[in-house]
Amino acid sequence: MPEEKNASIPVTSERIADDRYVGFCDILGFSNRVLLDFDGTLKVYKQFSDTFSSLPVPDVEVTMYSDAILITGTSLGRVACAIQNLWFIALANDLMIRGAIAKGRYWEQRRGHHMLVASDALVRAVKLERSVGIPAVVIADDIEIPDPVWLNRFANGLFLTPILHFRDRNIVNPFNTWWFRSAATRASQLMAESPSYKDKYLWFLALHEAVGKDLELIPHDVLARFIREGILTLKVPRSEAQSG
């Protein structure tokens, strides 16, 4: 009987398993807010939805459930841009995010009101997110960052660069022109409210300072290769670029 009942519900859509970039993000502190002020937090939650609707990224799909957000797409840069939008609304509401991006097979099927997902990339992203001890969305080490992504930093500046390299990690850039200055103020306020997480906020403030100083924030070996090949004409890599 259960099989007959399920068979009567048509598959509304099914994605053939393919290689995709899968981002898994956790909104830090969101669960506590839900418990303390459900109605107020629901308004913030709707702002996340409105932001993704008003700032759509082509070829990227976003699924939200409670404090977890799933972002998938075939372009690493576009997935990172969608996560930058997530950072925007999070910082605007005194929240931060932690997460990871992995690449691998992704299958999805929608049947009525139900959605099924099977993805090795999602499994790896969730595991990596759990191991991240800082407020950042990190990119799995086995994902190769194309040269144009790094060169975008020099062509368009840090604020329009979706991916940065800081303290031996490739991460999604949490800043842009509109919310850069206030980000440090918000991080300092959150650190004062939660001194037990001081080290995490200090990491974020160090990243903010590095961006403010306009450091290169790309891997040292990549920068050196660009200079060696004449792609860039910088005299020498700045030593502070990788020290943060």
Tell me the DSSP string of 27-81.
EETHHHHHHH-HHHHHHHHHHHHHHHHHS--TTEEEEEETTEEEEEES-HHHHHH
Q: What phi-psi label fits residue 243: left (phi over 0), alpha (psi between -120 and 50 degrees) or beta?
A: alpha
Beta strands (DSSP E) in 66-123 are: 68-73, 96-111, 114-119
pLDDT over threshold 60, residue 116: yes
pLDDT of residue 83: 94
pLDDT over threshold 70, residue 12: no
pLDDT over threshold 70, residue 3: no
pLDDT over threshold 70, residue 238: no
pLDDT of residue 240: 44
- Interval 220-239 mean pLDDT: 79
pLDDT of residue 14: 61
Q: How far apart are CA 194 and CA 186, in angstroms?
A: 12
Phi (first) and psi of residue 144, to 5 degrees:
-80, 125
Question: What is the value of pTM for the model shown?
Answer: 0.85
The 10s digit of each residue's pLDDT in 18-55 is 789 999 999 888 878 888 888 888 888 787 777 777 77
68-73 vs 169-172, strand pairing mode: unpaired
pLDDT over threshold 60, residue 75: yes
Tokens read off for 90: 């999070």
- Interval 197-203 mean pLDDT: 93
Question: Average pLDDT, whole number, for the chain?
Answer: 85
Q: What residue ranges of the chain are covered by domains with CATH 3.30.70.1230?
A: 2-143
The 10s digit of each residue's pLDDT in 187-198 is 998 899 888 889
pLDDT of residue 241: 44
3-state class (DSSP) for residue 174:
coil
pLDDT above 90 coverage of the chain, percent? 50
Q: How far apart are CA 238 and CA 15, in angstroms?
A: 46
- Where does the pLDDT of residue 170 fall: very low under 50, low under 70, confident under 90, or very high at 90 and above? very high
pLDDT over threshold 50, residue 1: no
Superfamily of domain 2-143 in CATH is: Nucleotide cyclase, GGDEF domain (3.30.70.1230)
Lowest-confidence range among 56-60, 94-98, 164-168, 231-235?
231-235
Q: How far apart are CA 204 and CA 137, in angstroms?
A: 12
- Return the bridge partners of 111, or none: 11, 114
pLDDT above 70 coverage of the chain, percent? 89
pLDDT of residue 239: 46
pLDDT over threshold 80, residue 9: no
pLDDT of residue 199: 93
pLDDT over threshold 50, residue 111: yes
Helix (H) or strand (E) holding 89: helix 76-92
Q: How far apart are CA 139 and CA 21, in angstroms?
A: 10
